[in-house]
Amino acid sequence: MLHPPPDTKRTVFRLNGFGEPRWASVNRGVLICDECCSVHRSLGRHSSQVRHLTQTPWPPSQLQMVQTVYSNGSNSIWEHSILDPASGLSGKRKTNLQDKQHPNKMEFIKAKYQMLAFVHRMPCREDDSSTTKDLSKQLHSSVRTGNLETCLRLLSLGAQANFFHPEKGNTPLHVAAKAGQVCQVELLTVYGADPGAPDSNGKTPIDYARESGHHDLADRLVEIQYELTDRLAFYLCGRKPDHKNGQHFIVPQMADSSVDLSELAKAAKRKLQSLSNHLFEELAMDVYDEVDRRETDAVWLATQNHSTLVTETAVVPFLPVNPEYSSTRNQGRQKLARFNAHEFATLVIDILSEAKRRQLGNSAVIHKDSVELILKSVAVRHCSDSQDTDQPDYDSVASDEDTDQELLSSKGDRTKSLDSDLSDGPISMQEYMEVKNALSASEAKVQQLMKVNNNLNDELRLMQKKWEWEGGTPFLKGRFRSSGWLGEASSIPELEDADCDPTLPSTEDVIRKTEQITKNIQELLRAAQESKHDSFIPCSERIHLAVTEMAALFPKKPRLETVRGSLRLLTSSACRLQNECRKVVPSEGCPGPDMQLVTQQVIQCAYDIAKAAKQLVTITTKENNN
């Protein structure tokens, strides 16, 4: 990770005719001045990732990507409606040097980069998921070329950096890595593309880069994969692991580690170790964001004219609210700013130790996805197309009403401790763990809803079996085929029309498809937990596709009745899940659906799918080992 050479920096400066910008928004691909930078920082990293051009270490290829996309007109992407004569917004006045920073410049920057108010909008279609898929397919095709502006435009419209092409069997990052498109790789990973994601043959983008002879690119992809833990280690000790020689973690030690032997410290570490992989991932990403805030603050304060720019409106005292997160999580994120240097260093070291322990101790193949989530790049989160323009301050977040009454009651007894000064206790990480446990309580509610419906399983099985053997299965197969984005090759195997086949797919293939199903189910359950009902349909469609691919691994008529039964449960539950998720969109002239009932049914369907997939893993593992 090197600073750009002097001539490169001068080239960057000359790209902008509006003074001499000293900062860049990495994910937006634009250069910004000091005044605008203070507003960009207040938006949060989910909207704009800010880096200083000369005082912050840059990966050379990432700097090259920003230079290239900026010089090719990235600004016109974010101001499309203003620049388009056919747009009603054409001629809207942009801010200039004479305008006040607050509110003029702030409102314009928020509209441009947070709300994406001027980005080109696609014509409205009934099926938004199809639009996203079309855009993602275009992205998949575009990354093999060097046209960064086209890819950034597609990403701004909603193309998914991690899109798995059902026909090609890989993601855009696989394509870019194989083609040696370094800048495309940087752009995709800034938007969340996973360097460790396997294609249909189990190969990662890193594998493709090495096989194609792009060894420097492969090394860079490894760095991106470990971006989170590398950044935390560098923050504490100024060093990064030597990935080329197989060193993937540095865990610094506190000089006065003896003071960490208190019972409070031990209890806090036990809580950290007891977190689920999902909650540990969230905590690690939140701490990563806080490290970025603190480091950027230090650069900001060191490079500003304190008499004119360092004001209350120019500083970012804690992590800005991310509307994609729950108020509980936003509250916990903001409390990180109150950790003193020793407390925060202790937390960072504990997270590094725990990340290393979970990776090295995670031998179960079925659960590897959760550890990969911790280690993959968290450089950016996808920006929401509809975000609240009002950023609540700390107190308003702390008092936000939560619709989950059980979560409220579980938080009630902790109000006093959460509001206390974190410096009062010897180890303040425990308070943050308390906030994280509130999320565990919310997850427990989802599990409880699934258990409530377990007593319906027998009745549902009988109904499903009767329906399937009385003619339901042909209808089911037709429904899968009618989803145009699936294609004929991914239709559900016909279980009645062929002789019994004793062959089974490999255990590795079944496990890989099960991981895809499980990951999509986790997204659906998180949406259910956070009452994001508009996410139900796209989540169910991704599960639908993953189930279809899973079923296609097996012969048309398996010999084992246990396999046939599990496949019937898997496919019928996927169909039911889609039907239930469609209920969140009320029909014309009909009363709105009972969302609590719909959510319970959605959870039950997801549970049945997960159960069937697990059964298939168990059966194939047992049979293939015999």
State the DSSP code for 153: H
Other beta carbons within 10 Å of 393 = 12
CA dist 336 and 428 (Å) reads 9
Give the angle 515-526-363 at the CA atoms, nearest 5°. 35
**For residue 590, what are the CA distances in angstroms to 572, 582, 594, 595?**
27, 14, 12, 14
pLDDT band at 623 (very low <50, low <70, confident <90, very high): confident
Contacts 24+ apart (CB under 8 A), 411-415: 411/328, 411/438, 414/438
The pLDDT tens digits for 417-428 are 333 333 333 334
Other beta carbons within 10 Å of 421 = 8
Residues 6+ apart with CB under 8 A from 170: 164, 199, 200
Residue 128 token pair: 């938004």
State the DSSP code for 558: B
Residue 185 token pair: 């790789």
CA dist 322 and 330 (Å) reads 7
Alpha-helix runs per DSSP H in 552-594: 561-582
The pLDDT tens digits for 158-189 are 999 999 999 999 999 999 999 999 999 999 99
Residue 609 has pLDDT above 50, yes or no: yes
The pLDDT tens digits for 513-570 are 988 898 888 888 888 878 888 889 999 999 999 999 999 999 988 888 889 888 988 9
Report the range of poorest mean pLDDT among 352-366, 422-436, 505-519, 574-588. Answer: 422-436
**Mean pLDDT computed over 426-440:** 49
User: Which residues does residue 50 pair with via DSSP β-bridges, in sequence order?
Assistant: 25
The pLDDT tens digits for 49-74 are 999 999 999 999 999 999 999 999 99
pLDDT of 195 reads 96
Contacts 24+ apart (CB under 8 A), 241-250: 243/219, 244/219, 248/359, 249/352, 249/355, 249/356, 249/359, 250/352
Report the range of poorest mean pLDDT among 207-216, 279-288, 507-516, 597-606. Answer: 597-606
pLDDT of 88 reads 63
The whole-chain average pLDDT of the chain stands at: 75
More confident residue, 35 or 292: 292
pTM exceeds 0.85? no
**Mean pLDDT computed over 481-503:** 43
Closest residue by Cα to residue 207 from 182, 186, 178, 169? 178
**539, 519 contact by CB (below 8 A):** no
Q: Which of 195-204, 429-438, 558-567 has the highest mean pLDDT?
A: 195-204
Residue 526 token pair: 């998180």
pLDDT of 65 reads 98
More confident residue, 246 or 94: 246
What sign results for the dihedral spanned by CA atoms 434, 298, 304, 227? negative
pLDDT of 92 reads 66
**171, 193 contact by CB (below 8 A):** yes
Sheet with 30-32, strands from edge to edge, namely: 30-32, 23-25, 50-52
pLDDT band at 369 (very low <50, low <70, confident <90, very high): very low
Burial 322-348 (b: 16+ CB within 10 A, else e): beebbbbbbbbbbbbbbbeebbbbbbb
Residue 107 has pLDDT above 80, yes or no: yes
**Mean pLDDT computed over 137-143:** 97
CA dist 436 and 323 (Å) reads 18
**Which amino acid is it at 151?**
C
More confident residue, 442 or 562: 562
CA 424, distance to chain mean position in Å, is 35
**41, 160 contact by CB (below 8 A):** no
Alpha-helix runs per DSSP H in 306-428: 327-335, 341-360, 368-375, 394-398, 405-412, 415-419
pLDDT band at 295 (very low <50, low <70, confident <90, very high): very high
CA dihedral in degrees (95, 97, 102, 105; nearest 10)?
30
More confident residue, 451 or 157: 157
User: Which residues does residue 31 pair with via DSSP β-bridges, in sequence order?
Assistant: 24
pLDDT band at 614 (very low <50, low <70, confident <90, very high): confident
Closest residue by Cα to residue 292 from 366, 373, 377, 210? 377
CA dist 214 and 236 (Å) reads 32
CA dist 155 and 188 (Å) reads 9
pLDDT band at 116 (very low <50, low <70, confident <90, very high): very high
**522, 506 contact by CB (below 8 A):** no
